[in-house]
Amino acid sequence: MALLGTLKGFGVTEIFQLISQQMKTGALVLSSPSANITITFENGIIVGITSDKWERDPRADVLLKAGCINEKELKASFENEKKNGNSWHEILVSKGQLKKIFLDRASNVVIKQTLLEVFQWKEGGYKFEDWNTEGQSMLSCHIPTEGAILDTLRIIDEWPVIKQKIPPVDYCPVTIIPVTEDIVRHHDLTDVDLHIYDLIDEKRTVERIVRESLEPPFEALSSIVRLLDIGLIEVFPEGAKDIRDTTIARKQFLSRVKKASVYVILAVCVLALAIFGQPRVFKGIFPEQIKHHLQNQKALAERFSGS
């Protein structure tokens, strides 16, 4: 099966659905004024992605920004790759300079960001051909196409709301309330939410947390917004620890005042009943002198009002 056309007549979503439903194997080339991206499928499942914008493996830049590797180590690994044929990331992992889990997370970031990009293309062209894609230089993956469609469309749909709530990227989130198992269950916090929460240390900015989390930016920012909405964290300008401490003290003080006010109101009500209502439960509690004085005052007030 060969597909060829423009994105104005047949959108990216429809193309992916067709390939998935017919369980096709081949390569889909999507072109736009900004880039040409090739996505390979095997039996309708996404198994590889590449872009002509990538001058080198994009995971390297993600890992550098996250602080998982340094420029010197990366440069040496690329040089060894040219000499020995082993991939740069295999060299770093074998030397203990890079953890495999970080590489996998970087792959997830690149793939999700690339899919998010192409699903928003409104102009350009597409071409799908049934041909063997083995041996091509691609970022390997194994993603059910229907799942990728739903996940990407969800992000596109939710992004406008999340975008309005994102705090300044140069502000530092600080923890206000410790996370407990009850809070996790009550608010249905995800692993990403907890990962982002653990990265908050009063020094990392929002931008730095997103980079170092090795989570897709949308997921990381959504978690920050969720934690803010719940009240587990707040954001302040970088280095504003004193403001954070003041905020915590204010919250604790208001909480104590709220609890104390309940008891004060209750005490006032009891006292009012004792003085004016004369309930049986209080009979005999007050001295006779006080009762006699109150009765004299009441009688005096009645005579004055009658005159």
User: Which tens digits make up the pLDDT trace of 162-210?
Assistant: 999 999 999 999 999 999 999 999 999 999 999 999 999 988 999 999 9
Q: pLDDT tens across 8-67, in order?
A: 878 899 999 999 999 999 999 999 998 999 999 999 999 999 999 998 999 999 999 999
Paired with 49 in beta bridges are 39, 139
First to last CA, the chain: 107
pLDDT of residue 36: 94
How many residues are there in the chain? 307
Residues 264-293: what's their mean pLDDT?
61
Strand-pair category, 139-144 with 125-129: unpaired
Would you give the DSSP letter of residue 167?
A: P
pLDDT of residue 264: 79
pLDDT of residue 164: 95
Paired with 239 in beta bridges are none
pLDDT of residue 283: 52
pLDDT of residue 281: 47
Residues 70-81: what's their mean pLDDT?
93
pLDDT of residue 129: 87
Contacts of 304 (CB under 8 A, 6+ apart): none
Q: pLDDT tens across 97-149, in order?
A: 999 999 999 999 999 999 999 999 989 999 998 875 554 578 999 999 999 99
pLDDT of residue 10: 84
For 203-208, the CB contacts below 8 A with 24+ separation are 203/172, 203/238, 204/172, 204/173, 205/169, 205/170, 205/171, 205/172, 205/238, 206/166, 206/167, 206/168, 206/169, 206/170, 206/171, 206/172, 206/173, 206/235, 207/169, 207/170
259 or 191: which leads in pLDDT: 191
